[in-house]
């Protein structure tokens, strides 16, 4: 019979004016994958930060027992010493250090203060083999993809003799193939005696690998569901998460699609680090008034590069092609010019490029529309506050006040602030790049509803997503992209996951045939 490895009893954590955790208790058994789910802001990450010592003993109420022993962690080093390792959603790797250096950072293979590099590389190779990563340990982190970086983080955890591995949204930025590889690794690690706590909004992954699922809502544990026979379905989890059944995950939209308002012809862009390499190759597409058009493709297909190139040449060099709006060709060389022409881009990386995290909600919402809240280049703070209040209510942004820093909001509410910023700019063409990445099913539904309202107002919307069900549920047409090219166009009736993958595979086969010829 499995033994209890972790007990958290009556954990209460308060921030200024907010109770994030309210007497939360959690029990995790040895050699299991235990999932933690809930809406954004429910308290999942806060609970794991308490467990891992990010929030030290004394900053919360309650008791933690690990392997039967009461623990009072002062910091992460204390928890790691006990074999508890957390991998955050934002990976803690140094891009311009090697894989080996990152694995042993803070845990150097040294004697008398001198690092033994031969030992470091040899042990790194062993750890990489354990996680199924075939990379040279001397490769820089900057030179490998996000999926491989996740595996490096796990190798780093293994180097610390991990017994309980905590993963916060580990597959949020991964494609299906990379996600499945990581999930298979967690199952394999379980077979070697490593227990995992998995935080994820991807419920299909939860039902696939989790042995138990604890649901947190508004800082409280609602229930723990058993899934040892893999009989738990997503709808059952959703009902517990949001407190109600969601009959349809994609809200219905009834919009009369109008005439073409935006067209791109022959867009070709070169790699900024290798000017001979074409990243975007002769891409042409169009979007009509009130239409939601999707970009489907695997990670690295070039979807984000296309979007950023359109948005003021934010990506690449040697741009060629035409951007046409309402029948007139535009000359757009900068982001301010793109905004001036009614084009908005909601980035996939809201924390680095979409928000000023240390600033408040009010300032972030008005950031792209300062002219509308200014007189003679002086910001009217009363007007700014009034408009920010309108968008807080319209988008249902959950916050203590408009003066709250956006870094303290949940992922879903941060995404709503980014949307508010661009909606306030009143664009005609709205490019949404992974608009629901890392947010829960309830917040997703609210954002889908916002997208539908914008379409109903006549906005032309271009939507990039790595979640095929999202594209199929939201889009009127879908362009399939691979290797920087559009390789197919599917109507809503023609589109399916199989049809999209067939277009990609057919193109890849043709590419291989051309190379071999």
Cα 407 to the chain's mean position, in Å? Answer: 15
Q: Is the pLDDT of residue 339 over 70?
A: yes
Bridge partner residues of 213 (DSSP): 35, 225
pLDDT of res. 396: 83
Higher per-residue confidence, 284 vs 413? 284
- For 365, the token pair is 């919402």
Across the chain, mean pLDDT equals 90
Burial class (CB in 10 A: 0-12, 13-18, 19+), 19: middle
CA 294, 299, 303: angle at the middle one, nearest 5? Answer: 40
Please report which helix (H) or strand (E) contains residue 309, including its range. Answer: helix 303-310
For residue 483, report the phi and psi dihedrals to the nearest 5 degrees.
Answer: 50, 40
Tell me the mean pLDDT in the region 258-274.
94
Higher per-residue confidence, 510 vs 262? 262
Q: Give the whole-angstrom CA distance, residue 247 versus residue 241.
A: 14
Q: Is the pLDDT of residue 249 over 90?
A: no
Architecture of domain 248-342+427-517: 3-Layer(aba) Sandwich (3.40)
Q: Give the whole-angstrom CA distance, residue 473 versus residue 491.
A: 12
Q: Give the whole-angstrom CA distance, residue 311 versus residue 315.
A: 8
- Least confident window among 7-11, 107-111, 347-351: 347-351
CB 307 within 8 A of CB 293: no
Q: Is the pLDDT of residue 247 over 80?
A: no
| Nearest of 177, 155, 178, 176 to residue 165 by alpha carbon | 155
Q: End-to-end CA distance of the chain, in Å?
A: 60
Question: Beta strands 164-168 and 84-87: pairing type?
Answer: parallel
CB 61 within 8 A of CB 10: yes
Query: pLDDT tens digits, residue range 75-91?
Result: 999 999 999 999 887 77
- For 451, the token pair is 């997208």
Q: Is the pLDDT of residue 256 over 90?
A: no
pLDDT of res. 243: 77
> For residue 56, what are the CA distances in angstroms to 53, 64, 160, 458?
5, 12, 20, 51
What is the band of 377 on the pLDDT scale with cuts at 50, 70, 90? Answer: confident
Coil, helix or strand at residue 396: coil
Which of left, alpha, beta for 23 (phi over 0: left; psi -120 to 50: alpha)?
left
Q: Is the pLDDT of residue 245 over 70?
A: no
Query: pLDDT tens digits, residue range 154-205?
Result: 999 999 889 999 998 888 777 777 888 889 999 999 999 999 999 988 888 9
The class (CATH top level) of 4-242 is alpha beta
Q: Is the pLDDT of residue 411 over 80?
A: no
Tell me the mean pLDDT in the region 78-107.
90
- For 410, the token pair is 């949940």
pLDDT of res. 244: 67
Domain residue extents for the chain: 4-242, 248-342+427-517, 355-426
- Least confident window among 37-41, 152-156, 234-238, 421-425: 37-41
With a pLDDT cut of 70, the percent of the chain lying above it is: 98
Q: Give the whole-angstrom CA distance, residue 365 versus residue 450.
A: 16
């Amino acid at each position: 019979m499995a033994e209890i490895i972790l007990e958290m009893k009556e954990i209460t954590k308060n921030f200024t004016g907010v109770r994030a955790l309210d007497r939360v208790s959690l029990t995790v058994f040895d050699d299991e994958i235990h999932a933690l789910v809930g809406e954004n802001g429910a308290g999942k990450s806060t609970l794991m930060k308490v467990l891992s010592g990010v929030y030290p003993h004394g900053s919360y109420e309650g008791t933690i027992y690990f392997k039967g022993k009461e623990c009072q962690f002062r910091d992460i080093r204390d928890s790691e010493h006990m074999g508890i390792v957390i991998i955050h959603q934002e990976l803690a790797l140094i891009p311009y250090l090697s894989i080996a250096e990152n694995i042993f950072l803070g845990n150097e293979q040294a004697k008398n203060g001198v690092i033994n590099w031969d030992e470091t590389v040899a042990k790194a190779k062993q750890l990489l083999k354990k996680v199924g990563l075939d990379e040279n340990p001397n490769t820089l982190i900057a030179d490998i993809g996000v999926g491989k970086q996740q595996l490096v983080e796990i190798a780093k955890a293994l180097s610390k003799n991990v017994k309980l591995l905590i993963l916060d949204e580990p597959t949020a930025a991964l494609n299906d193939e990379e996600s499945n590889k990581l999930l298979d690794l967690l199952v394999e690690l379980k077979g070697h005696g490593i227990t995992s706590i998995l935080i994820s909004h991807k419920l299909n992954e939860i039902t696939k690998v989790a042995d138990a699922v604890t649901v947190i809502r508004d800082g409280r544990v609602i229930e723990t569901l058993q899934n040892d026979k893999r009989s738990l379905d997503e709808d059952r989890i959703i009902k517990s998460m949001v407190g109600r059944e969601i009959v349809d995950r994609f809200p219905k939209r009834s919009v009369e699609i109008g005439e073409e308002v935006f067209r791109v012809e022959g867009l070709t862009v070169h790699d900024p680090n290798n000017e001979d390499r074409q990243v975007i190759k002769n891409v042409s597409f169009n979007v009509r008034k009130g239409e939601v058009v999707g970009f489907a493709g695997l990670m690295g297909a070039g979807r984000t590069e296309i979007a950023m190139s359109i948005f003021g040449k934010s990506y690449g060099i040697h741009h060629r092609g035409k951007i046409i709006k309402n029948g007139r060709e535009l000359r757009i060389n900068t982001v301010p010019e793109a905004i001036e022409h009614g084009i908005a881009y909601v980035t996939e990386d809201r924390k680095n490029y979409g928000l000023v995290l240390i600033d408040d909600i009010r300032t972030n919402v008005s950031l792209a529309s300062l002219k509308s809240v200014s007189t003679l280049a002086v910001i009217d703070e009363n007007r700014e506050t009034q408009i920010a209040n309108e968008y807080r209510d319209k988008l249902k942004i959950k916050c203590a006040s408009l003066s709250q820093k956006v870094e303290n909001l949940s992922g879903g509410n941060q995404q709503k602030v980014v949307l508010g910023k661009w909606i306030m700019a009143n664009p005609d063409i709205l490019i949404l790049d992974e608009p629901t990445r890392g947010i829960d099913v309830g917040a997703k539904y609210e954002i889908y509803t916002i997208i539908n309202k914008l379409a109903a107002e006549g906005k032309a919307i271009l939507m990039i997503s790595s979640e095929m069900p999202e594209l199929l549920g939201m889009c009127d047409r879908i362009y399939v992209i691979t290797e920087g090219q559009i390789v197919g166009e599917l109507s809503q009736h023609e589109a399916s996951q199989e049809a999209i993958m067939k277009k990609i595979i057919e193109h890849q086969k043709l590419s291989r045939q051309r190379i071999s010829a």
